[in-house]
Amino acid sequence: MTELLAQLYALLCLGVIVFQLLLIAGLPLGEYTQGGQNKGALPPRGRVMAALSILVLGFMALAILSAVGFAGGFWPRWTGWVAVGLSALTSTLNWITPSRKERMFWAPIATVMLALAAYVMIGTA
């Protein structure tokens, strides 16, 4: 069961990565990210932040997959807990963002991701 949940977590990370790629490409989705400060496309600084997010999301996905033996299973277990912590931070920030669109769309997704990551890490203890 934890393997399936880890795969679902990674799939959600991949979905968020696709969203970040759309932001970098200039799609007018600024109200759904980074506090909703930008209507329309993100400025260059926002696109750099989206690119950095891709790296973090990739790390998070691999850390959780590694905890259940995927991705070679060679990453230390503590990296999975870092992914849980980052998921908790992301979830919290999405719930408190001033952007209603971001809060309504991303907060539930981030919360599900947090629950999946925590369940995987507790379930593989």
Give me the pLDDT at residue 71, please: 65
In b/e form, how buried is each residue of 3-29, taking b as 16+ CB within 10 angstroms?
Answer: eebbbebbebbeebbebbeebbeeeeb
* pLDDT tens track for 65-100: 999 998 677 889 999 999 999 999 999 999 999 999
Domain count, the chain: 1
Range(s) of the domain holding residue 54: 2-123
pTM of this structure? 0.92
Give me the pLDDT at residue 70, please: 85
